[in-house]
Amino acid sequence: MKRVARIVAAVIAISVLLVAALRIVAPLTTAVMLEAWIAAAYAGHPKPIDYRWVPWNAISPNAALAVIAAEDQKFPSHRGFDFDAIDSALTAHDHGRRLRGASTISQQVAKNLFLWSGRSWLRKGLEAYFTVLIEALWPKRRILEVYLNVAELGPGIYGVEAASRRYFDKPAARLTLGEAARLAAVLPRPRSMHADRPSSYVQARSAHIEAAAAQLGGRAYLKRVDPRWSELR
């Protein structure tokens, strides 16, 4: 038992140190990127990963606002979990509707960085564990910065910098709200939806995201993520 306890303590210590380091250091890659690359290589069709880290100040406020409006409107105030969204998703499932995701941005960062795809109680437990660590050790601005840099926005395309240059031929710092909304619109299925060739669904979802961003208060809402935010960026 002592040996098992020491192993568990060592694993916890390593995970805490890793999350603490990533508060400062840009991740070289993520579990999602590695899994996608390995799967493609195993299938005999290895594909390059387009991942270009940029710091917070090199990302348009429109991109930050769009992903919050699309994915997690309570992001500034929750501590990693949106229990109202989870309850609503479970209630809808109980009434026969497809179980929809209720993951916060913090949970998605945990999944992208550290975990494999699929559904299991082990994976959900680890996701919750890493989410708690991330919320405890990182400020909200860092969580959003990492999410904007590692989220998959197209086949093999990770982060708003790579996506902005691929789809709009411009850096992420110059994204308009309309362009940022189109990127956020493909987040549920980035390998089948296209920001550069938006379907009617993506166009409608983009319009909804823009409207939601306006209802949140526009860029001023981002001061809830970072009180030092300047609307003049």
Question: Computed from CA positions of residues 89, 117, 199, 82, in that sequence, does the dihedral angle turn out positive or negative?
Answer: positive
Structure tokens at 74: 């309570």
What domains sit in the chain, N to C, each tagged with a CATH number? 28-224 (1.10.3810.10)
What is the predicted pLDDT for the residue at 93? 44
DSSP classification of residue 1: -
Q: How many CA atoms lie within 13 A of 221 on its CB side?
A: 23
Count of C-beta atoms within a 10 Å radius of residue 128: 14
pLDDT at residue 155 above 80?
yes
Cα 158 to Cα 36: distance, rounded to the nearest angstrom: 11
What Rg value do the Cα atoms of the chain yield, rounded? 18
pLDDT digits (tens, 9 = 90+) for 71-112: 999 999 998 888 776 666 555 444 455 545 579 999 999 999
Cα 46 to Cα 87: distance, rounded to the nearest angstrom: 40
Count of C-beta atoms within a 10 Å radius of residue 47: 13
pLDDT at residue 8 above 80?
yes
Cα 160 to Cα 80: distance, rounded to the nearest angstrom: 22
Q: With contact defined as beta carbons under 8 Å apart, do 142 and 35 qualify? A: no
pLDDT at residue 1 above 70?
yes
Mean pLDDT of 150-156: 95
pTM comes to: 0.91
